[in-house]
Structure 1
Amino acid sequence: MSVTSVLARKWRPKTFAQLVGQQHVVQALSNALIQNRLHHAYLFTGTRGVGKTTIARIFAKSLNCAIGITATPCGICNACTEIDSGRFVDLIELDAASNTGIDNMRDVLDNAQYMPTLGRYKVYLIDEVHMLSKAAFNSMLKTLEEPPAHVKFILATTDPQKIPVTVLSRCLQFNLKQLPPALIVTHLEYILGQEGITFDIAALTLLARAAQGSMRDALSLLDQAIAYSDSRIEESTVCNMLGSIDQSYLYDLLQTLLLRDGAGLLRIADEMQSRSLAFDVALQDLATLLHRIALAQTVPEAITEDEPERVRLLELAKSFNAEEIQLYYQIAIHGRNEIDLAPDEYAGFTMTLLRMLAFRPAGAKAASEQPTTEVSEPSTANATSIPAPKQQLQTIETISQSVNPIVTTSMVIDWGTLLTQLKVQGMARELAKHCTLENFVDGRLTLILAPQHKHLLTNKMAQDKLQTALADHFVQPVRLVVMPGENNMPTPAAVEQKLKQTLQQQAVEGITQDPFVREAQTQLDAQILEETIKPIQ
């Protein structure tokens, strides 16, 4: 059965009920609409294809539907149909990537003062808003500070870190999550059922993984798979289309690595080369598999019962030490990044495998050799013994090729001091500022997040950037764990606030006690406006 239009357009949700995932955003917006508690500016963040623009358009319909402000727009009135077709005059969509300058923003905002032509609200949807220039942001800020009652701003971005804090503070921010593969597979099943196209569930699983959390990418890949297939979407066809690696090769590689069999690793690599498989894709898929093994080790319930390779995953999870998997993941990532610098792809791929064979966490044994007793180290709150940064690493003992080098390092660092050394900005820094350091043991760094800021946990991008910064600082893999909870130690944000208060108090006292100021009060009946006093930075 032929498909009459691009699937991503044909199956684009037109109501909140049709949306797949993002229930945390849908619930919040629906409640605001039902209670008529509307903010003047909303910011939707998230990677491509997760629904930012779609939700914005549904929200615009909810604001302008003929039946009134509602969480369930009718879909048949002029406002609803024209928004769906992209012709609604009071929905102004601006691509900030193409209109970055202040002149473009001034033209848009100058029209904001005028009442809507047809709708209840004039809605400005600015996509990729982080691309605006500093001058354009400043121009927008003036309108955000004192918006007309008939205007709503919806900003969308894939990189909220680049948006000025002054703009962020005036928006309600919603972070849209990447969709899990299982959810994407379920939606693809439904669509293909409606389209009358037969498929293998394993083929849809491959498409869902390749989409990397983006429903739009998944539908685009599905379009491609339909064009690539004859009458049925099969796993082998999708593998060829994506250039995917047969997963059995990856499992065999890890099983051979477990046996420390260098010759066996090269035999598998040679077989992969004889089949002209892409080694950069192989390293990407290997990193994905290592991630799933790490999940199986730490959160077994994350591996669902319908996972095709569930048994093999759990077997490898038991066979490898957790630190080994973390190290191999890091090696695979670096190997993929460096493969273009290698003499050829085969050399880059095999060198990555040999690194995995050569390096092992100090004193690590296979998981099957580990004692079952788990020893936890006492917490020292913000002052914790952790590995030193690169310039302070010292090799204490180095012995032959047959035995791995042992590196032992530690030092006491305050979390607030460490934060000043990390290269993080924006929401990642905000997250870190409201945490205290619980411990750093075996590559796992645990932070305790102040309960009143637990909403920051929804920003996965911020956690990823903070974890990357920590790994770069310590020059080793770091697994970041952030948990809400109480801690008697002050957070860097609390210390910073206390310092600001102290400086403010000193500034006020300096002014009020100044002889010249006191004389002016006496002679001229002058008054001191304390809120206008600011300490000199």
Structure 2
Amino acid sequence: MADQEYLALYRKYRPVDFDDVRGRDAIVRTLKNQIISGRIGHSYLFCGTRGTGKTTIARIFARAVNCENQRDGNPCGECPTCRAILADANLNVTELDAASNNSVDDIRAIVEQVEYSPTQGKYRVFIIDEVHMLSNAAFNALLKTLEEPPSYAIFILATTEPNKLPVTILSRCQRYDFGRLSTGIIEGRLREVAQMESLEIEDKAFRYIAGAADGSLRDGLSLLDQCNAFNYGSGLLTYDRTLEILGAVDARVFGDLYRSIHEGDVTKALSVLDEILLQGRELMQFVTDFTWYLRNLMLLKASEQTAGSLDISADNLQEMIKEARMSDMEEIMRCIRVFSALPDLIRYSPNRRILTEMTIIRACRSAMDDGAEGEEMLPLEKIKNRVREMENRVYNNERSIDRLEKEGPGPAAAGAFSGGIRDDRSAAGGGGTPEASPASPAVKQELPPALPEEIKKIVENWSKYASQAPPGSRRIALTRARLSLGDQGQLIIIFDKEYGNPYLYQRRDKDEASRSRVDEDRRELQAFLQNKTGRAIEIEYRVLDRGRRITDNYVDLLSLVDSGMIRMDIETED
């Protein structure tokens, strides 16, 4: 019989008047003043997360406005009206759970009831819980009545998601936001209930239960009820037993795990995880709590003045301050990124432990890599990292090439074109058939970190541009040419010796006017490309030795077009 009469703690100790409500001083004061002054609104909207007192205050308000013996805005709880409402036997107060009664017919039934005046008391109060679950048709049916209800009708709408309500509903209600309750308020209420229930609980256990409630007093009382049931007949409820009941882990274990990650000690970090699992702790809860631990560590690293706002015991606080001082902000934030992504991975995975171990190993290796971003980086971030390395190598190679050219047997004489092709004839060289120099650098070029937009456009459209050249050797040479990028950002056009020589050298030993013709062609090509791209393009001609491939010495930009790499935008950081 006793079991049948038992009530859960959150129901047994639900506030019965405004003075018994905790943490809602502003809302309570406003509602009490309305009741005392008689300026009662016709529609109210109570918004907030679960277990924060929305329905409780709505019921107290319904009793208070109908109470025959109000006491400073509070219901007396003794008059026939108050007793009937408490017993759910008063027809003047109607509650509707919109989560399961969300059709237009359910709302029409409410609207029909509004037409009848109260049989007992002054007001008819309609409490609609989870109102955001109503259908659009139901909202439309409610709208007119909510806008102009009878003087005796009061609507109280409660919701956890006010953003889902139509604006037309929001504009017709007085809105009250029920934020999460502080840990201190929840802990104080838990102590009151424990005292009334004659429960013996450690202070540290109170603090943990209050923190685990996550701002919901109802959740806190439910957790206290759960712990009390587990500890029934065992005397004092200790902190360790509380952790065991709730499947949670002590903050000291989180400290051990973080120090192992900081030191890059994979063996020790995995042993900490193994110990936690052997104790039967819930893996998802462990990951969530450890991420929260890292968050507190990050705030302490940012400023130790934030310690007062953190829900941490004095003993754990000193240890966390030490850990924050030995770490850098990037390391802590890297761990937060890694472990924040883990819950989504393991939520529906049959291999939760494996994924958690992989994450811990990744975090340890990231800590061992001095300044490395770790494997958790997105592919684009890894590409950026590789590009930065390539920039350094290209820069060093270019300096080596410049030094070799300066220290060599002597610079090659200018060729037929002032800014163009190189050859190996000396400045005073005589006649004979000219031979093109392998104008290739000693070290192979690498992919530039980022192609200029104008070069990228030329490369992507080169086939079309080359086909617009005048017929003859010029078009043939340009069509068969390959493209690369010089160290000064110039466009290098590399000709095959078989097709390039007839075009470039056919006038080399003739009069000056004939030789300048090719140079004029180059300037025309520069003007043509500038017209297409909107930017001035410097062009350099080179000829590839017979038997050599372009990839031996150059980055062939045209081949990158075929592979799709040239269209990939790569952002670099300074």
Contact 1:63 1:120 in 2 (8 A): yes
In structure 1, how many angstroms separate the alpha carbons of the residues matched to 2:293 and 2:311?
15
Greater shift in the superposed pair: 82-91 or 171-180? 82-91
Structure 1 counterpart of 2:346, one-letter code:
I
Distance 1:51 1:4, change over 3 A: same
Match of 1:314 in 2: 321
In structure 1, how many angstroms separate the alpha carbons of the residues matched to 2:381 and 2:257?
32
SS at match of 1:9: helix
Structure 2 counterpart of 1:244, one-letter code:
A
Quote the offset at 1:101 in angstroms.
Answer: 0.5
Superposed CA deviations along residues 327-359 of structure 1, whole A, max 9, x for unmatched, are 433322210121145562221111222343355
Superposed CA deviations along residues 481-507 of structure 1, whole A, max 9, x for unmatched, are xxxxxxxxxxxxxxxxxxxxxxxxxxx
In structure 1, how many angstroms separate the alpha carbons of the residues matched to 2:340 and 2:214?
16
State the aligned residue count: 378
Runs (4 or more) in structure 1 with deviation over 6 Å come to 362-365, 390-394
Contact 1:124 1:152 in 2 (8 A): yes
Q: How does 1:16-415 map to 2 (within 5 A)?
A: 16-67=18-69, 71-229=73-231, 230-296=234-300, 297=302, 299-303=306-310, 307=314, 309-340=316-347, 342=349, 344-359=351-366, 395-398=383-386
SS at match of 1:398: helix
SS at match of 2:96: strand
Quote the offset at 1:166 in angstroms.
Answer: 1.1
Structure 2 counterpart of 1:282, one-letter code:
F
In structure 1, how many angstroms separate the alpha carbons of the residues matched to 2:78 and 2:333?
53
Distance 1:253 1:138, change over 3 A: same
Contact 2:46 2:178 in 1 (8 A): yes
Distance 1:8 1:341, change over 3 A: closer
Distance 1:308 1:125, change over 3 A: farther
Equivalent in 15, 18, 27 of residue 17 of structure 2: 15
Superposed CA deviations along residues 298-355 of structure 1, whole A, max 9, x for unmatched, are 5332036855522123333333344543443332221012114556222111122234
SS at match of 2:249: coil
Match of 1:473 in 2: none
Contact 1:304 1:310 in 2 (8 A): no
In structure 2, how many angstroms separate the alpha carbons of the residues matched to 1:350 and 1:392?
25
Superposed CA deviations along residues 439-481 of structure 1, whole A, max 9, x for unmatched, are xxxxxxxxxxxxxxxxxxxxxxxxxxxxxxxxxxxxxxxxxxx
Greater shift in the superposed pair: 122-131 or 109-118? 109-118
SS at match of 1:73: coil
Match of 2:413 in 1: none
Structure 1 stretches of 5 or more lacking a match? 366-389, 402-407, 410-537
Contact 2:125 2:154 in 1 (8 A): yes
The root-mean-square deviation of aligned C-alpha atoms, in Å, is 3.1
Quote the offset at 1:122 in angstroms.
Answer: 0.6
SS at match of 2:172: coil
In structure 2, how many angstroms separate the alpha carbons of the residues matched to 1:307 and 1:88?
51
Distance 1:154 1:324, change over 3 A: farther
Distance 1:186 1:144, change over 3 A: same
Contact 1:100 1:131 in 2 (8 A): yes
Greater shift in the superposed pair: 130-139 or 229-238? 229-238
Structure 2 counterpart of 1:109, one-letter code:
V
Greater shift in the superposed pair: 229-238 or 28-37? 28-37
TM-score norm. by structure 1 comes to 0.64
Distance 1:68 1:222, change over 3 A: closer
Greater shift in the superposed pair: 103-112 or 26-35? 26-35
SS at match of 1:267: helix
SS at match of 1:198: coil
Distance 1:397 1:239, change over 3 A: closer
Greater shift in the superposed pair: 24-33 or 38-47? 24-33
Distance 1:397 1:295, change over 3 A: closer
SS at match of 2:44: strand
Contact 2:251 2:316 in 1 (8 A): no
Greater shift in the superposed pair: 99-108 or 229-238? 229-238
Give the greater-gyration-radius structure (CA). Answer: 2
Contact 1:43 1:171 in 2 (8 A): yes
Contact 1:33 1:69 in 2 (8 A): no
Quote the offset at 1:139 in angstroms.
Answer: 0.6
Quote the offset at 1:149 in angstroms.
Answer: 1.0
Quote the offset at 1:171 in angstroms.
Answer: 1.0
In structure 2, how many angstroms separate the alpha carbons of the residues matched to 1:131 and 1:280?
29
Contact 1:56 1:125 in 2 (8 A): yes
Greater shift in the superposed pair: 317-326 or 344-353? 317-326
In structure 1, how many angstroms separate the alpha carbons of the residues matched to 2:90 and 2:366?
61
- Matched-pair identity in %: 34
Distance 1:313 1:62, change over 3 A: farther
Contact 2:117 2:124 in 1 (8 A): yes
In structure 1, how many angstroms separate the alpha carbons of the residues matched to 2:152 and 2:371?
64
Contact 1:61 1:79 in 2 (8 A): yes
Structure 2 counterpart of 1:285, one-letter code:
D
Distance 1:323 1:35, change over 3 A: farther
Contact 2:211 2:311 in 1 (8 A): no
Quote the offset at 1:204 in angstroms.
Answer: 2.0
In structure 2, how many angstroms separate the alpha carbons of the residues matched to 1:199 and 1:273?
26
In structure 2, how many angstroms separate the alpha carbons of the residues matched to 1:164 and 1:15?
32
TM-score norm. by structure 2 comes to 0.60
Contact 2:252 2:316 in 1 (8 A): no
SS at match of 1:116: coil
Distance 1:300 1:67, change over 3 A: same
Quote the offset at 1:212 in angstroms.
Answer: 1.8
Quote the offset at 1:42 in angstroms.
Answer: 0.8
Distance 1:67 1:271, change over 3 A: closer
In structure 1, how many angstroms separate the alpha carbons of the residues matched to 2:37 and 2:386?
67
Structure 2 stretches of 5 or more lacking a match? 373-377, 390-448, 451-574
In structure 2, how many angstroms separate the alpha carbons of the residues matched to 1:250 and 1:239?
14
Distance 1:77 1:295, change over 3 A: farther
Match of 1:423 in 2: none
Quote the offset at 1:205 in angstroms.
Answer: 2.3
In structure 2, how many angstroms separate the alpha carbons of the residues matched to 1:23 and 1:321?
41
Contact 2:263 2:364 in 1 (8 A): no
Quote the offset at 1:52 in angstroms.
Answer: 0.7
Quote the offset at 1:18 in angstroms.
Answer: 0.9
Distance 1:343 1:91, change over 3 A: closer
Contact 2:264 2:365 in 1 (8 A): no
In structure 1, how many angstroms separate the alpha carbons of the residues matched to 2:370 and 2:264?
16
SS at match of 2:223: helix
Match of 2:412 in 1: none
Contact 2:46 2:159 in 1 (8 A): yes
Structure 2 counterpart of 1:270, one-letter code:
D
Contact 1:63 1:70 in 2 (8 A): no
Distance 1:343 1:399, change over 3 A: farther
Quote the offset at 1:221 in angstroms.
Answer: 1.7
In structure 1, how many angstroms separate the alpha carbons of the residues matched to 2:337 and 2:177?
27
SS at match of 2:281: coil
Structure 2 counterpart of 1:225, one-letter code:
C
